[in-house]
Amino acid sequence: MKNALLSVLVLAGMIVVEAVGQQRSIPVYPGAKLETEQQENGECCDFVTTDSFEKVVAFYEKQLNTKALDTKALVAAYPALKQQIQAMEQQMPPNFKLRAFVIEELTVNGQKMPNFFEVTGSPDAVRFSIGGDALAGNDAQFAKQWREKTGKLTEEEQQQQQRDQAQADADKEQKEREARKAKEMPEYMAKMTTELSKSLKQNNASLPPGFQCENIQSYQGESSSGFAFYFVSTGDFKKAYDFYASHIKGAEITNAEGGLAGWSDYETVYFWRQAEFPFGSALRIDVKEISMTKDGPKKTYVAVFVSSPEAVKALGAISAEYQSRW
C-alpha cells in the first residue's frame, strides 16, 4: 500500500519498513477526485477533495474505526520512528497537516512497525492515497480509471475497451440513421405515393378521400413481388368499400369476426370486415376494418399491392436511395 508519510520519509533519506500482507479495504471519501495528471510513472491511486481537513479525518475515523494520529502521537506509539518523523516535520511546508491511521502492525527486529494510511491537508485541498488492492466494491472503479488514464490497462481491459468503443460507434451510427430516417420520412412517403399514383391512374384506380399513408413495405410472394402501401382512416368501412365497388362489381364483404392476425407493422390486430378488389394482375386493393384491441375503436385500411415490373423498378429505386441512408 502506498502512503504519503513513507514517501516523505524516504525522501528524507531514512529507511522505513512498510508492512506487507493482506491489505485492508479503505473507502474513498465521498466526492473525492481521482488524480491522474502526473501519475504516468506512479502507483494507484491518489485522491483530492476541497472539503475540510477535519471532515475528512472524521470520516476515516468512523470508517476505519481507529483514532487518527498526529506526528506526536506517532512518535509516542512508535518510538523507533522518532528520528524519521522529526526529519519529516522539518520538511513539512507551512500549514501542512497530517493524520495517520494504523491499518496493521508488523514486528520487525523485535519492534512494532506500522502500515499507515494518511490524510494530508494544505490550505487548498486535502489529499490521500489508497492502493488499488485496498479499493473494493464500487470504489474498485477508480483503479480501472487510473489504469485507463495512465495507459496501464490490462490486456483484457484493453480488449473490452475496444469492444465498448466499437459498440458505442455502432450505437452512434444507428442513432444518426434513425434521426435521418425521422427527418426524411415525410419526403420518402411523398415520393413513393406520387410514384404509386401513376400505377393507380394506369389501372383506372384511385384512393378514397381522407386516407393517409401510414406505412410502405416491400414484399416477396410465391407468384410475385412488389410494394404494399397501407392507407388508414377513421372513416366508415362501408364508404371505402362502396368507393371501389362502384368500379369493380361483385366483391364480397367477409366478416372476420375479430380474428387475430398480423397487419402492416403490427404483430397482431383484430380483423372485422374485409374485401378485395383486383385491378388487373399487377394491382390489388384491399379494404379492411381492424382494431388494435378487442373492444377498441375500429379503423379502416386501404392496402394497395402493386407488382408490375415497371412500378416495382421505379419504387425500388426510390426505396433503395433512402434505405441506404437509414
**pLDDT tens digits, residue range 267-311?**
999 999 999 999 989 999 999 999 999 999 999 999 999 999 999
Q: Specify the number of domains making up the chain.
A: 2
Listed residues 152, 174, 194: the one ending a domain: 152
Residue 130 is assigned to a structural domain of this protein: yes
Residue 138 is assigned to a structural domain of this protein: yes
Residue 162 is assigned to a structural domain of this protein: no
Contact 318, 191 (CB under 8 A): yes
> Residue 261 pLDDT > 90, yes or no?
yes
User: In the chain, what are the helix, strand and coil shares in percent, each to the nearest 5?
Assistant: 40, 30, 30
Reported confidence tier of residue 186, pLDDT bands at 50, 70, 90: very high
H/E stretch holding 171: helix 155-202
Contact 115, 106 (CB under 8 A): yes
Residue 292 is assigned to a structural domain of this protein: yes
Residues 144 and 201 in one domain: no
Residues 137 and 220 in one domain: no
Residue 165 is assigned to a structural domain of this protein: no
Report the C-alpha gap between 134 and 136 in whole angstroms.
6
Residues 148 and 8 in one domain: yes
Q: How far is CA 255 from CA 270, 272, 288, 293, in A?
A: 12, 6, 10, 17
Instruction: Give me the mean pLDDT over the 45-72 stretch.
Output: 97
Residues 189 and 143 in one domain: no
pLDDT of residue 8: 39
Residues 136 and 274 in one domain: no
Direct distance between the N- and C-terminal alpha carbons of the chain, in angstroms, rounded to an integer: 53
Report the C-alpha gap between 234 and 211 in whole angstroms.
9
Residue 120 is assigned to a structural domain of this protein: yes
Residues 144 and 9 in one domain: yes
Name the average pLDDT for the chain: 89
Residues 81 and 190 in one domain: no
> Residue 12 pLDDT > 80, yes or no?
no
Residues 187 and 314 in one domain: yes
Residue 161 is assigned to a structural domain of this protein: no
C-alpha cell of residue 227: 410494394
Residues 132 and 197 in one domain: no
Residues 99 and 237 in one domain: no
Q: Percent of the chain scored above 90 by pLDDT?
A: 77
Residues 147 and 17 in one domain: yes
Residues 188 and 136 in one domain: no
Contact 288, 271 (CB under 8 A): yes
Residue 313 is assigned to a structural domain of this protein: yes
Quote the pTM value: 0.59
Domain containing 268 equals: 182-323
Q: Percent of the chain scored above 70 by pLDDT?
A: 92
